[in-house]
Structure 1
Amino acid sequence: MKLEIGNFVVKDVAFGAKTGFANGIFTVNKEEALAEVMKDEHITEAELHIVKPGDEVRLVPVKDALEIRCRVSGAPGNHPGATSDLCSTATGRVHSLTGASLLVVGKHWGSFQDGLIDMGGPFQRGTLYGFLKNIVLVADTDEEFERHEQQKKNHALRWAGMRLAEFLGKTLADLTPDSIDVYELDAVNRRDSAVSDLPSVVYVMQPQTQMEAMGYNTLVYGWDGNHMLPTYMHPNEILGGAVVSGSFMPCSSKMSTYEFQTNPTIKRLMKEHGKTLNFLGVIMSNLNVIMEQKIRSAIMVAQIANSLGADGAIVAEEGYGNPDVDYIQVIVELEKAGVKTVGISNECTGRDGKSQPLVALDPKADALVSTGNVSELVHLAPMKTVIGELDALQRDGLSGGWAGCVNPDGSCLLEDNAVFCADHPSGYSVKRCFEF
């Protein structure tokens, strides 16, 4: 299967008379873009902003991030099953803006999975999106039934973001990309000995699927991940847009839709394929609440990996706490099956950093990569401009925020938990450890 991603490197983003890309500048006709957003009758008001690295801007509550892209061939849209008819995303060509994203922000109301981004100041470094040129959709909806709920589906805003990213991306369809990345893997049993003799590695993804109520979980081809059992997937399917981020996850732990579309771990494994390793593909697993379900999924992951002939595995967990049990159980079952495994997750070690990092641990889980402590306290000075509503951080049950964490001058005290996608279990994390 062959997927081509054409990259348009963004030097700047601006508003203008016509939406399009030329000479490194992506221009957006604001009125046309907002008209596309307002086609959804549940969107009551909307605005667009442009924010760039170094701007004295704070965004909250951020709900999702998406790559601005379009399908040139191979599928009917960016997210088949969610915003278009079902079709495999593993083949064809995608055109995308590189170095930019679309951020979706609530104008007022936030929820448990929403977070904060600083575009400037010392905590710009807190998340990947502080270093991208971002088009920001800020909107409100008529979804009064969940206005004061801590858990919100954020359906209208999430779908508005997906539709807007595709609307903007369609202007790239007939242009020539700055570069083209080709992602192609032969069938596992049809690889020549030069590849098959290399160490065989599988990537296990554990997106958030714990909510039994529909509408909150990660979607795979539009299907709620709570219904899934561990499934083998071609890596091109994830890069091609098969997975949409859900609306249930403490925010620093989540993988945004952008991070599924551009997953750096998958891209590195594809780059190393045929050179240092034999990349077998992706096992899309799930996260469960009941112990029997956790064990069942872990056994199935190990069986798939073993049947593929995996020598090694990378397991990436979206979340912490209850999902740690799934995470460690999968690692244990893989190790029992003879598959050497490395795990990637954040940890919850308390504000003093002295608590047990994961809810579950096992001696077989002896190669773990930590992407950060969700409980780390972060002090943020006032920011010149706030897009969205800062009060959402303390009012609406955002993970990492609490009543009184926002001061009258606009400064904040919060946990890492509240910073949008800050821990990047997808592989984008730039955090370092220091020993004192």
Structure 2
Amino acid sequence: MRLEIGNFYVNDIVFGDKLSYNNGVLTIDKEEALAFIRQDERITEAELYIAKPGDKIRMCPVKEAIEPRFRPDGRSAFPGYTGDLAPAGDGTTYALKNCSVLVVGRHWGGFQDGVIDMSGEGQKYTYFGELNNIVLVADTNEEFEQREQQKKNDALRRAGHRLAEYIGACVKEMTPEETETFELDGMIKRDSTVEKLPSVVYVMQPQSQMEEMGYNDLVYGWDMNHVVPTVMHPNEILDGAMVSGSFMPVSSKWSTYDFQNCPNIKALYQEHGKTINFLGVIMSNLNVALEQKERSALFVAQIAKSLGADGAVVAEEGYGNPDADFVGCIVALEDAGVKTVGVTNECTGRDGQSQPLVTLDEKCDAIVSCGNVSELIELPPMETVLGELQALARDGLSGGWADDELLGPSVREDGSIIMENNSMFCGDQVCGWSPKTMKEF
């Protein structure tokens, strides 16, 4: 499969009288875009904002991030979700780089939603603080789940993906400024010099623990709870086959933007034919019952061994209960003779003294840490809040609280906040963005 991503680099975003892209400037007709969003009758309130690096803006509750994309051949950027089911990973897609569509709740958050700061100390904690963002702040008629701690947010998430495609269409008649090419031959039909290199697979464990449909990550629009471990071409992930769900403490979530740009996949591609033979992706799942976890681990190990993998990189979306899937998968791979590296966050408590993963094994002897989800973060007030900051305290966001006998409420009267890293939107950046390093004292 050969995927060409034609890139257009967005240096600025403005509102104007026509949707267009010219010399690095993305112009959006706000009223036309809002009319497009409101075609979904479930959207009851909607407004668009622009948030750029350095702006004194705080956003909460943030629900999703998507890179604007468009397929010049007419196929949907998110097949099976925003359009008809069609293959992803082959052909050409156009992408607006350095920017994202962020979806923010007008009022109601949940434990899967988070915070983004565009300047100050908080900017560094999430990748999206460095991007030019089109921010959709909206509410829906889905009143049945407003006060639920866990929400499907279906209308809001779909609105964000549809808006990303709508904006991406502004470059459909243009020539990309740069083209990235991602191509892998069939696993058993590669050049002999490549086949002599160590063969490596990337094992992804996207969120799929909710048995009720609508919360989990999607693959071609299909709920990941239905999926058993399977082989996917890495191009499919980079080309919109995966859509983020509405489940998991937010710092450990993978947004759709993370799937579209997965740095771990790109890094493995970079080394293909040089130091490794990158076989592809084993798309696994996360389960609740121990037997389900063990079964998936066996599947992953069997697939890796059957493909002839010498090594594997395993990444999990989440922590806590999913740690058992993560560790079990690494152990099964090691038992099958596949040398394995894990990529994960840790939950070591506010003092950093607790056990980092729910379960451990001596065979997990190569782990890349993306930081402690429980680390306390204090941030000063921000001039502008998009959404409703009180959701951090009121609605049970992971990492936030209504009151604490020692620390007080997460949201203070002056607009400053104290929270755990848990509340930073996709802040652990397990998919490969993480800039964090370990220090030994």
**Residue 351 of structure 2: aligned partner:** 352
**Residue 429 of structure 1: aligned partner:** 434
The separation in 1 between residues aligned to 2:187 and 2:440, in whole angstroms, is 43
Alignment of 1:99 onto 2:98: yes
Greater CA drift, 263-272 or 40-49: 263-272
**Residue 23 of structure 2: aligned partner:** 23
Helix, strand or coil at the partner of 2:331:
helix
Helix, strand or coil at the partner of 1:279:
strand
Amino acid at match of 1:58: R
**Residue 128 of structure 1: aligned partner:** 127
Contact 1:47–1:139 (CA<8 Å) still a contact in 2? yes
Amino acid at match of 2:55: D
The separation in 2 between residues aligned to 1:15 and 1:91, in whole angstroms, is 33
Alpha-carbon distance, 1:431 to partner:
1.2
Greater CA drift, 170-179 or 56-65: 170-179
Helix, strand or coil at the partner of 1:423:
coil
Helix, strand or coil at the partner of 1:125:
helix
**Residue 2 of structure 1: aligned partner:** 2
The separation in 1 between residues aligned to 2:171 and 2:282, in whole angstroms, is 32
**Residue 309 of structure 1: aligned partner:** 308
Q: Which runs of 5+ in 2 are unaligned?
A: 403-408
Alpha-carbon distance, 1:174 to partner:
1.2
The separation in 2 between residues aligned to 1:148 and 1:79, in whole angstroms, is 29
Amino acid at match of 2:257: Y
**Residue 62 of structure 1: aligned partner:** 62
**Residue 419 of structure 2: aligned partner:** 414
1:341-420 equivalence runs, <5 A: 341-403=340-402, 404-420=409-425
**Residue 264 of structure 1: aligned partner:** 263
Alignment of 1:189 onto 2:194: no
1:72-111 equivalence runs, <5 A: 72-73=72-73, 76-111=75-110
Alpha-carbon distance, 1:420 to partner:
0.2
Helix, strand or coil at the partner of 1:191:
coil
Alpha-carbon distance, 1:72 to partner:
1.6
The separation in 2 between residues aligned to 1:62 and 1:136, in whole angstroms, is 10
Q: How many pairs were matched up?
A: 435
Alignment of 1:11 onto 2:14: no
The separation in 2 between residues aligned to 1:238 and 1:422, in whole angstroms, is 20
Helix, strand or coil at the partner of 1:72:
coil
Greater CA drift, 148-157 or 270-279: 270-279
Helix, strand or coil at the partner of 1:383:
coil
Contact 1:72–1:92 (CA<8 Å) still a contact in 2? no
The separation in 1 between residues aligned to 2:96 and 2:77, in whole angstroms, is 13
Q: Which runs of 5+ in 1 are unaligned?
A: none
The separation in 2 between residues aligned to 1:76 and 1:122, in whole angstroms, is 41
The separation in 1 between residues aligned to 2:3 and 2:93, in whole angstroms, is 8
1:241-283 CA-partner distances (Å, limit 9, x unpaired): 0000000010000000000011111111112111111000000
TM-score after normalising by structure 1? 0.99
**Residue 171 of structure 2: aligned partner:** 172
1:145-203 CA-partner distances (Å, limit 9, x unpaired): 00100000000000000000000101111111110001110000100111111111000
Alpha-carbon distance, 1:62 to partner:
0.2
Alpha-carbon distance, 1:76 to partner:
1.8
1:224-373 equivalence runs, <5 A: 224-373=223-372
Alpha-carbon distance, 1:352 to partner:
0.2
1:128-147 equivalence runs, <5 A: 128-147=127-146
The separation in 2 between residues aligned to 1:95 and 1:251, in whole angstroms, is 28
Amino acid at match of 1:22: N
**Residue 406 of structure 2: aligned partner:** none
TM-score after normalising by structure 2? 0.98
Amino acid at match of 1:72: P
Contact 1:328–1:362 (CA<8 Å) still a contact in 2? yes
Alpha-carbon distance, 1:123 to partner:
1.4
Alpha-carbon distance, 1:435 to partner:
2.3
The separation in 1 between residues aligned to 2:436 and 2:59, in whole angstroms, is 21
Helix, strand or coil at the partner of 2:82:
coil
Helix, strand or coil at the partner of 1:189:
coil
Alpha-carbon distance, 1:434 to partner:
2.1
The separation in 2 between residues aligned to 1:435 and 1:286, in whole angstroms, is 33
Greater CA drift, 75-84 or 135-144: 75-84
Helix, strand or coil at the partner of 1:421:
coil
Contact 1:63–1:115 (CA<8 Å) still a contact in 2? yes
The separation in 2 between residues aligned to 1:86 and 1:69, in whole angstroms, is 17
| CA RMSD, Structure 1 to Structure 2 (Å) | 0.7
The separation in 2 between residues aligned to 1:109 and 1:85, in whole angstroms, is 31
Contact 1:80–1:222 (CA<8 Å) still a contact in 2? yes
1:291-338 CA-partner distances (Å, limit 9, x unpaired): 000000000000000011101000000000000000000000000011
The separation in 2 between residues aligned to 1:434 and 1:368, in whole angstroms, is 15
The separation in 2 between residues aligned to 1:362 and 1:72, in whole angstroms, is 48
Amino acid at match of 2:29: N
Alpha-carbon distance, 1:71 to partner:
1.0
**Residue 36 of structure 1: aligned partner:** 36
Question: 4+ runs of 1 displaced by more than 4 Å?
Answer: none
Helix, strand or coil at the partner of 2:71:
strand
Amino acid at match of 2:226: H
The separation in 2 between residues aligned to 1:130 and 1:20, in whole angstroms, is 24
**Residue 405 of structure 2: aligned partner:** none
Helix, strand or coil at the partner of 1:134:
strand
Amino acid at match of 2:71: R
The separation in 2 between residues aligned to 1:204 and 1:13, in whole angstroms, is 36
Amino acid at match of 1:416: N
